[in-house]
Structure formats: structure tokens, C-alpha cells
Structure 1
Amino acid sequence: MASYKNKKVITIGIVSELTGLTERKIRYYEERKLIFPDRSSGGTRKFSFHDIELLMDIAEKMEDGMQTFEIRKQAKRAETEFEAKNRMRRGQLNAAFNMRKG
């Protein structure tokens, strides 16, 4: 079952109200490949609560002087590290399971 935080159901207007970011700035972050909203059949952007948290993090980093390419690079590095940790955990679980099985 998917977490409610990941369901993309919030429109850009509501996201703007919740975050204090302008719709223009939110679209800019999307253009810079920092945020990836879904689109409805009519083309309306749909965001999740997780996206809102990410937007707040992006805005804070921008205020601190980071450039969008640095934020994107940092996000990619974090994603890679997360995936590596998950692979390691799966390997450990598989090894533990196989040891008990044999």
C-alpha cells in the first residue's frame, strides 16, 4: 500500500499556498529537473506531500546560495547511496536467510 505522502494529488496552486513559493518558481524547479510532478489527463501538475517537503528543501538550499546543478548533483548522490544501502541490506537478508535454510 502506497503512503499518502507519495500520492500525487495536490495542484500547483495549493503547493504554492503551502510552501510560500510562487507557481513560477515551482515550474522553474521542474524545468531544472529538481522536482517531478505527475500530470493529469488535462495537463495539470499533481504533487505529493513528499514533493512539497522536497520543494521546501530546494528553496532553503537556494536561499543558502546553492545552484540548481549542485542541488541536482547532491540529490543524485543521495539516491545512489540509498540504492547501495538497500542492495547491501538485501544481500545481508539473503545471506542470513540462506544460512538458516541450509
Structure 2
Amino acid sequence: MSNEPSYKNRKVITIGIVSELTGLTERKIRYYEERKLIFPERSAKGNRKYSFSDVEQLIDIANKREEGVQTFEIRQQMLRDKRKEAERESRQQMLRGQINARFGIQRE
């Protein structure tokens, strides 16, 4: 199995293309980055690079902002969601370990 991220998570899209895809201005996209709602990578020349997942996240953020949700509230919800996901993954890993131990399955 490859350690490469799926196509959806590869950071290859420039801010200009993201702006076209989302309808958001480049300034607004950079603002959401400042507010720690989106986390682009930087190229060797310092250009922001986004993934398709980032584009989806930006659309979700824009929709919430149109509904009147503040960026602080969006950030807090993102942190809660991330914490819940980490807890879920931890429980799954524990269960897998218990099942493996019960049935004598050795991991390679």
C-alpha cells in the first residue's frame, strides 16, 4: 500500500484556480487561512497549493458564512469534529487489537 495521499488530498491546485472553482476571492481564501480554517501547503517558491478536499472545505465555509456563522464558530466546530474523529479512530484501533489478540492474529 502506498503512503501517497489520495488524489483528493494532494495539494496541487493554485489559489487562482481555487478562486475560480469556489467563487471566493483570493483575498477571502487567504483570510480563511489566517483564521486557521484552511491549511494550504507552500511550493518551493512560496505559492499556496490546495487540494480538492480544501476546495470542498472552502465551499462549506462559504456556505456557513452565508448562513451567518462566524469564523470562530466554524473553527470550534472543526476542532470538535477532529477530536471526535480521533476518538473514533482510537476506539477502532483498540477493537482491532482486541480482536487480533482474541483470535491470535499477528500483524506484519
> Same fold, TM exceeding 0.5?
yes
1:75 pairs with one of 75, 78, 83:
78
Measure, in 2, the Cα distance between the counterparts of 1:34 and 1:61.
12
1:41 CA displacement: 1.0
Match of 2:87 in 1: 84
Number of equivalent positions: 102
Determine helix, strand or coil for the equivalent of 2:36: coil
Match of 1:45 in 2: 48
Measure, in 2, the Cα distance between the counterparts of 1:13 and 1:7.
17
Measure, in 2, the Cα distance between the counterparts of 1:51 and 1:28.
14
Measure, in 1, the Cα distance between the counterparts of 2:98 and 2:69.
42
Measure, in 1, the Cα distance between the counterparts of 2:44 and 2:93.
37
Match of 2:101 in 1: 98
Match of 1:31 in 2: 34
1:101 CA displacement: 1.0
Match of 2:59 in 1: 56
Determine helix, strand or coil for the equivalent of 1:41: coil
Is residue 23 of structure 2 the alignment partner of residue 20 of structure 1? Answer: yes
**Segments ≥4 residues shifted beyond 2 Å:** none
Determine helix, strand or coil for the equivalent of 1:14: helix
1:86 CA displacement: 0.3
Spell out, residue by residue over 1:12-32, the C-alpha distance to the aligned partner (whole angstroms, 9 max, x if none): 000000011110110110011
Code of the aligned partner of 1:57: D
**Structure 1: runs of 5+ lacking an equivalent:** none
Code of the aligned partner of 2:50: F
